[in-house]
Amino acid sequence: MRPLIIALGRSDNHALLARHARSLGVEYLGLEGYEVSELLREGSALKDWLTHHTGERFRDRALFLAVIDSSIPVATLRSFSSALEGAGLTQISVRTTPEMLESIAAFTVADHSHQERESLYLLSIARSPHNQIAIWPMITLGKDGTMREIVGVNSKERGDDPRLTRVIEEAISEASKSSLVGVINYVIDPDEGSVIRREFGASTFTFWSESASYTTVTEEIVRAILDLPLGDTRMIDYEEYFIQEELEIDATLVVDPIRPFLHLFARNPRLKVRYLSDLDGEASAVVRISISLFASSADEALAEMAHAREFMMGR
């Protein structure tokens, strides 16, 4: 049966994550904080909600629980996790722990003087359950909406500011040692080179990646929740070759929709595979998919496309 992500966070962030999850063949149910409170108010409400959205066999599915942004209090996550266990979901994979949320909340400071600055630096870092780390280039975000890559592990323009280098190294170390599954964003004072605050998951600060990065922050959160190989977080090089192809595959190959991605995404972090057919719709003998990728040459692009096509077709 299809995996199911139960995500807690803001509705605008759910819209982005749900699109990525469903393109990977994964069902996605998003709840805001107030909706969680309503489900917990009555004893049977949560079980009824699960049955309504997923059917009677929801306990037999691969289930993942995650918080996707900073809007969910630790107490809400604890209560919801306990309620899921009470509903019989003892095998659910909890990707966001209360301890991790507490550590981020404890770091938040009350000083908002940075709001008067003309720009801020942003560093975003992702981690999967298998401790794979992906880090986006550090960027500067201006009040006027401009964005520029400045320095980072994946940056084309290497910087030599020791303060920023220290922040990057500390962020990587923290992510490696923590229980993080998802993304942490570090907001940095450009003058002092110090971290002003941290934000968890999808944020207004991360929207830049939706058009400028090979793998967006929201897509990377979905991959981390599913424990899939993380994607390439560098900024898109528009001089590279881009190729996309749509094809039909035998529906019997989609018993586990995310299994092929364990190989394909690990082989090529700039490759995307999306299910175009509605996997919840009427039974069909074929499933339509889309494969796309960036490559440094036409020959590389064609070779990678051929491999992905053959692999998805079970050959």
Helices (H) and strands (E) in the chain, counts: 10, 13
Percentage of the chain exceeding pLDDT 90:
55
Tell me whether residue 9 is in a domain.
yes
Secondary structure (3-state) at 145 = coil
Strands 138-142 and 133-135: unpaired
Strands 93-94 and 286-295: unpaired
Tell me whether residue 177 is in a domain.
yes
Tell me whether residue 235 is in a domain.
no
Nearest to 215 by CA among 146, 137, 140: 137
Same domain, 204 and 114: yes
Is residue 247 scored above 60 in pLDDT? yes
Same domain, 73 and 39: yes
* Average pLDDT value over all residues in the chain: 88
Write out the H or E segment, with its range, that includes residue 308.
Answer: helix 298-312
Q: Work out how many domains the chain is built from and give that number.
A: 3
Same domain, 151 and 215: yes
3-state secondary structure labels for all residues of 239-290? CCEEEEEEEEEEHHHHCCCCHHHHHHHHHCCCEEEEECCCCCCCCCCEEEEE
Structure tokens at 19: 């699109």
CA pair distance 106, 113, nearest whole angstrom: 19
Q: What is the pLDDT of residue 142?
A: 84
Residue 162 maps to which CATH number?
A: 3.30.470.20
Same domain, 112 and 198: yes
Same domain, 124 and 14: no
Same domain, 89 and 111: no
Same domain, 46 and 116: no
Tell me whether residue 306 is in a domain.
yes
**Residue 53 confidence class, pLDDT cut points 50, 70, 90:** confident
Q: What is the pLDDT of residue 271?
A: 97
Tell me whether residue 101 is in a domain.
no
Same domain, 154 and 251: no
Domain end residue (candidates: 52, 70, 96): 96
Tell me whether residue 234 is in a domain.
no
Is residue 57 scored above 70 in pLDDT? no
Same domain, 86 and 112: no
Is residue 87 scored above 90 in pLDDT? no
Mean pLDDT (whole number) for 72-99:
89
Nearest to 224 by CA among 64, 1, 8: 64
Tell me whether residue 232 is in a domain.
no
**Residue 31 confidence class, pLDDT cut points 50, 70, 90:** very high
Domain end residue (candidates: 226, 256, 273): 226
Q: What is the pLDDT of residue 254?
A: 87
CA pair distance 217, 19, nearest whole angstrom: 13
Q: What is the pLDDT of residue 151?
A: 63
pTM of the predicted model over 0.75: yes
DSSP 230: P
Q: What is the DSSP string of 76-95?
A: HHHHHHHHHHHTT-TT-EE-
Residue 82 maps to which CATH number?
A: 3.40.50
Residues 128-162 have pLDDT tens digits of 999 999 999 999 888 777 788 876 566 655 556 78
Which domain range does residue 81 map to?
Answer: 4-96
β-partners of residue 94 are: 65
Rounded to the nearest 5°, which phi and psi values hold at 111? -75, 120
Same domain, 157 and 84: no
Residue 297 maps to which CATH number?
A: 3.30.70
Domain end residue (candidates: 193, 226, 259): 226
Same domain, 137 and 112: yes
Tell me whether residue 236 is in a domain.
no
Same domain, 190 and 215: yes
